[in-house]
Structure 1
Amino acid sequence: MSGWSTKDIPDQSGRTFVVTGANSGLGAETARALVDAGARVILACRNTVKADAVARELGERAEVAALDLADLASVRSFADGLPGVDVLINNAGVMAVPLGRTADGFEMQMGTNHLGHFALTALVLPKVADRVVTLSSGMHQLGRIDLDDLGWERRRYRAWQAYGDSKMANLIFGQVLAERLTAAGDSRKSLIAHPGYAATGLQGHTESIMDKVMVVGNLFAQSAADGALPTLFAATAPDAVNGTFYGPTKLFGMRGAPGESGFSGRARDERIRTGLWTASENLTGTSITL
Structure 2
Amino acid sequence: MFREFSRTLTMLTFGALALAGCASSPDDREAGSASGDNVRAVSSDAPEEDVVDPWEPWNREVYAFNEAIDDWVLRPVAEGYQWVMPDFADRGVTNFFDNLGEVNNFINSVLQLKGEHAVVAAGRFTYNTVFGIGGLFDVATAFDLPERQEDFGQTLGYWGVGSGPYLVLPLLGPSTPRDFTGTLTDSLVFPSVQDYMESPEKWYLLGLFIVDTRADLLSAEAFISGDSYTFVRNAYLQRREYLINDGAPGSDPFTGGDDEELMLDDF
Tell me the TM-score range normalised by the shorter chain.
under 0.3
Which has the bigger relative contact order, CA under 8 A and spacing at least 6?
A: 2
Report the structure number with the largest CA radius of gyration: 2
| Larger helix percent | 2
| Larger strand percent | 1
Q: Using structure 2 for the length normalisation, give the TM-score.
A: 0.28
